[in-house]
Homo-oligomer: A and B are copies of this chain.
Amino acid sequence: MNKYYLPLENVKIRDSFWSPIQNLVMDVVIPYQEKILNDEIPGVEKSHALANFRIAAGLEEGEFYGMVFQDSDVAKWLEGVAYALALRPDKALMERADQVIDVIEKAQQPDGYLNTFFTIKEPQHRWQNLLECHELYCAGHMMEAAAAYYEATGKDRLLHVMERMADHIIERFGPEEGKVKGVPGHEEVEIGLMRLYQVTGKEKYYLQAKYFIDQRGQEPNYFVEECRKRDWRHFGMGPENLSYLQAHLPVREQETAEGHSVRAVYLYTAMAAIARESHDQSLYDACLKLWDNITQKRMYITGGIGSTVDGEAFTIDYDLPNDSIYAETCASIGLVFFARQLLECRPTGKVADVMERALYNGILSGMQLDGKRFFYVNPLEVNLGVSGKLYGYRHVLPKRPGWYTCACCPPNVVRLITSLGKYAFTETEDAIYTHLYLGGTASFSRADISVESNYPWEGKIRFLVRGKEQKEFTLAVRVPGWAKNVHLTVNGEEGQVSVIRDGYYYLRRLWTEEDKVELSFDLPVRRIYANTAVRADAGCTAFQRGPIVYCFEGTDNGKELQALRIPADAEIRTEVCQEGILKGMVLLKIQGLRMEGSDELYSEAPPQAVEELLTAVPYFAWGNREEGQMRVWMRE
């Protein structure tokens, strides 16, 4: 167990970029989602998730409503509430959360079982359909919530509920004689069990998580056997496509990211956590292979993953369509989870770069700037009349809806943003790594570290290190792979270290009570080119400044964005937006060209270039103004 685990409350965030977003989540999103879970917001998809628990608890009459994994919405919301309480005390919120926990406890069955769908609707079918029915998935999320709530508040009621559920699971599933050799259809319980292990120290939870990982994809395949044994299906899914749920091979033999992308990255997250705990090199190697496959062949520039709506899945290497994309918000969040676990195994700048890419782009785009609308799918291109309307594009909505029938993404954003402090640092035997430039203060046993910056808009980060022990340790300061003209000073002096190793400056010294480390780098606008194997991006370029990916919207750039061209030597200015919803964001003003052609459908007349001043806005902020076309990749 990681003895350098940093409790969230030890990180106090005061960041010019993230604090307003965290406040929005706490002030608006959490109460809004609470209302939705209570069916108090008219005009959006009905949730009924809290009512399901009340019904299962015998507190209310009624029918189960929603997806078979509806419980997980409550779990993720509760986990977000826990992180919010760690960020900022809120007695009223805690009381409401306690009431929810009270209901959850009452919904638990005498044997420890907790799941409202099966308790209310199909008690005879408990544990018979791991392939489709998400019981372990819901349990995993509630374990995460329980651990977080315990850490934030010291209250252990939900923790005990979930320990009982975990024990019930351990009793039922495992390698031992007499137990069912089941594995979850949708991975997540492995993460939840590791969290239980983290807060309770009880090894059985780690061993159970490890069992689920080791058993996955083994022959005889559990899902094939399970389907043979039962005569009913829930969604109608059979065991034909085992790669959909990463059960096509033992996990250590998997080399490419396959199937449902959220399931995949949740699995890999648990694999990395267990590899670290068990010092399992083969498992860690598998994680690295999968990571490389995703980030070098199957990831959008925004950190989005999942190229197709068909199974919400990965497809093949370099198949990254921008308009029929899936790139579920949850999948990018899962990629961040995976990144964090890899950073815990061994910090490398490349992994942190991807984590940052997903955070500032494909995840943040999942939420409207007002916190009340959410994307499930995060496209890199939308076209009016096509996106959200035509076959193959119906899932690509041009506008964030208020809620979803399958509402996994909105509460996932909540729990990630409220727990952002967990992603900023890694502590090891002899070093503190700082991955993100999250403004605020982090309190370690060795030192308190304060960070000040106007990142991601400016490339100057000031660390104030207040050493607490009379012992040397290393402060490892991440330098983004894309940073230009990098300088580092310690107490105003340059040349303290000169080599960036695997993406970090390593500063080893005896830290006093007031050492200043200043990192600076330029943030030029960078033109990015995709690998020529990526068909969708051929001949195109995208723009990035710092970690921020930019996009072009119809509202700024008129119609037919595909007819715009940005010459290789185009003049690009940055401009801080002075008004409206994008106020304070750095926009790009680019001298581009509009190709104007014949009115004919096909013509021999080549389109002629006419100069046009174009505006690019941060990708995460797209879709916050009038509905229109949008593109990330522009013709060069």
Contact = CB atoms under 8 A, between A and B. Distances in A.
A261 interface: no
A568 B605 CA distance: 12
A600 interface: yes
Interface string A596-609: 11111111111100
A200 interface: no
A484 to B, nearest CB: 10
A531 interface: yes
B601 A530 contact: yes
A535 B383 contact: yes
Interface residues of A, number: 55
Contacts of A311: 391
A392 interface: yes
A210 interface: no
A297 interface: yes
A227 to B, nearest CB: 23
Decide if the interface of chain A is mainly helix, strand, loop or mixed: loop
Given A532-B563, A539-B565, A562-B538, A315 B607 contact: no
B563 A538 contact: yes
Interface stretch (A56-64, A68-76, A521-529): A521-529
Given A565-B539, A607-B532, A392 B390 contact: no
A482 interface: yes
A500 interface: no
Interface in A493-545: 526-535, 538-539, 541-542
Contacts of A541: 606
3 closest Cβ contacts across the A-B interface? Answer: A310-B391, A532-B563, A538-B562
A100 to B, nearest CB: 39
Given A319-B385, A385-B319, A527-B606, A391 B532 contact: no
8 contacts: A308-B392, A392-B392, A526-B604, A529-B597, A529-B602, A532-B562, A538-B595, A539-B562
A333 interface: no
Interface string A551-566: 0000000001011010
A532 B383 contact: no
Contact of A600 (B296, B527, B563, B565): B296
A529 B598 contact: yes
A46 interface: no
Given A295-B601, A531-B597, 5 more contacts: A309-B391, A316-B390, A319-B386, A529-B606, A532-B607
A308 B527 CA distance: 34
A401 B315 CA distance: 25
A299 interface: yes
Contacts of A600: 296, 531
A466 interface: no
A482 B600 CA distance: 13
A604 B538 contact: no
A390 B301 contact: no
Interface in A571-604: 595-604
A560 B636 CA distance: 18
A301 B529 contact: no
A482 B604 contact: yes
A607 B529 contact: yes
A635 interface: yes
A368 interface: no
A116 interface: no
A324 interface: yes
Contacts of A602: 301, 528-531, 542
A318 B603 CA distance: 14
A385 B316 contact: yes
Given A532-B562, A538-B562, A563-B532, A390 B603 contact: no
A635 B538 contact: yes
Contacts of A607: 529, 532
B310 A390 contact: yes
Contacts of A324: 324, 392
A383 B597 CA distance: 28
A140 B538 CA distance: 47
A319 B597 contact: no
Contacts of A565: 539
Nearest to A301: B602
A485 B596 CA distance: 27
A538 B527 CA distance: 20
B532 A596 contact: yes
Nearest to A316: B385
A610 to B, nearest CB: 11
A317 B515 CA distance: 64
A550 to B, nearest CB: 14
Given A308-B391, A392-B392, A598 B531 contact: yes
A201 B111 CA distance: 85
Contacts of A599: 531
Contacts of A563: 532-533, 538
A296 B600 CA distance: 6
Interface string A288-323: 000000011101010000001111000110110000
Contacts of A392: 308, 310, 324, 391-392
B532 A319 contact: no
Given A538-B563, A539-B539, A635-B538, A531 B601 contact: yes
Contacts of A534: 601
A601 B297 contact: yes
Interface string A326-368: 0000000000000000000000000000000000000000000
Contact of A532 (B309, B316, B528, B595): B595
A311 B315 CA distance: 25
A595 B538 CA distance: 9
A309 to B, nearest CB: 7
A548 B299 CA distance: 39
